[in-house]
Structures are given as structure tokens and as C-alpha cells.
Amino acid sequence: MRVEVPHGLSKDEAIAKIDRGSDQLFDFGSKHVEMTEQKKAWNGDTMTFSLLAKAGFIALPLTGTIAVDEAAATVMCDLPPLAKQFVGEEKIAASVEKRLAAVLAP
């Protein structure tokens, strides 16, 4: 999955906002899905992240990156087949795009 969101910030401002708001990006507001084991690490202007999305006895690992440049932030994430099948890549991408835009809002 690839999601790109433009921002009108400096690269450093965008990185700081993403760092502070990263826990919100994959929180889909569902009472049935819990995000656990969230980890992040920055290497320059790219954040690597991982987490587990748990629903009942199912736990799906999510890993990816968020790269920030002067004009946009780009999320790259390999979604597990189960997430694609039951939720849909388009729906997940739209939610991540909306949340990332909110995190980057001035």
C-alpha cells in the first residue's frame, strides 16, 4: 500500500508532527481492533514502523515506512493478505490518508 499526502510545512515540521502523531495513523477507531506492540525508529527523514493489529484471536503484523520530503509524506506498507481480503487495501489506504492529513494539518 502506498499513500502520499502533500504538506505545506517545512520538512522538519512535518517530521516532528508525524513523530508526535504516529500512534494515530493506524488507529482505525474500531472497538474490535486493538493496535499493540507499536514501534518506530527514524533514520534521517524516514520513519520505520511496526505494530500488531489484534481482533479477537487474530493478530496481523503491519510494517512499513513513512518518508518525508519538502512537499509530501509517503507511507509504504505491505498489508497482510487477510487485511486486504477482509478490510480492503483501498479502505485502509483511505483511512491512513485521512489520518496522515490530519496529523500534518497546520
pLDDT in tens, 10-42: 999 999 999 998 877 776 556 677 788 889 999
CATH code of the domain made up of 2-104: 3.30.310
Q: pLDDT (tens digit, 9 = 90+) per residue, 38-88?
A: 899 999 999 999 988 887 888 889 899 999 999 999 999 998 888 888 788
User: For the chain, what are the domain ranges?
Assistant: 2-104
Give the number of C-alpha atoms closer than 13 A to the C-alpha of residue 21, restricted to the C-beta side: 17
Instruction: Compute the distance between CA of residue 60 and CA of residue 17 in angstroms, rounded to an integer.
Output: 26
> pTM for this structure?
0.88
